[in-house]
Structure 1
Amino acid sequence: MSSRRSRSSTREISDAQINDLVSKLQRLIPQLQPSTSHHEVSAAKVLKETCDYVKRLHREVDDLSDRLSELLANTDSHSAEAAILRSLLM
């Protein structure tokens, strides 16, 4: 069993690594950009805001995809605009 314990312990992430990853996430999320006050944000808040941000990005991608589909449906397939859109999608 000692080999089992040693294998699982090598896969564990240290507190320092978790803190580093949370800090990196915090820098990526616009709502959590460090302000001039430099107040500390909890890891739970960083994770919640990250999830919310990813959900917003998914909705935005879905909305843009819908708009593109509508645009393509209303564009003559032989027009210059359609050719540009097709080239951008490739």
Structure 2
Amino acid sequence: MSSSSRERSSRITEDEINDLILKLQPLLPDSRSNTRVSASMILKETCNYLKKLHKEVDDLSERLSQLLASGSFDADAIRALLRR
């Protein structure tokens, strides 16, 4: 297979992009699946949401580390932290 034909076969089509955008939209909080939103807006919201999730994971990891480092294994506190 030539490099140009490999390039063409590995490119994502506009229809595939649109399909992926439609799949992303309902995964976002406050998503209005029945409202048409631009692809760029959905991608921006997705990036912001992922950043927010990463921050939450970092915060929860830090809190869990603090609980474990304190030496007092409060099972209820750890369960509550993990349920968030």
The amino acid that maps onto 1:55 is K
Q: How many residues align?
A: 78
Runs (5+) with no aligned partner, structure 2: none
Partner of 1:16: 15
Residues 25-83 of structure 1: per-residue CA shift (max 9 Å, x gap):
1111113242xxx221000001000000000000000110111111112233xx674xx
4+ residue segments displaced more than 2 Å: none
Runs (5+) with no aligned partner, structure 1: none
TM-score, normalised via structure 2 length: 0.78
Partner of 1:64: 60
1:55 aligns with 2:51: yes
What SS class does the counterpart of residue 30 from structure 1 fall into?
coil
Q: Percent identity?
A: 51
Distance 1:19 1:80, change over 3 A: closer
Let me know the Cα RMSD of the aligned residues: 2.4
Asked which structure has the greater CA Rg, the reply is 1
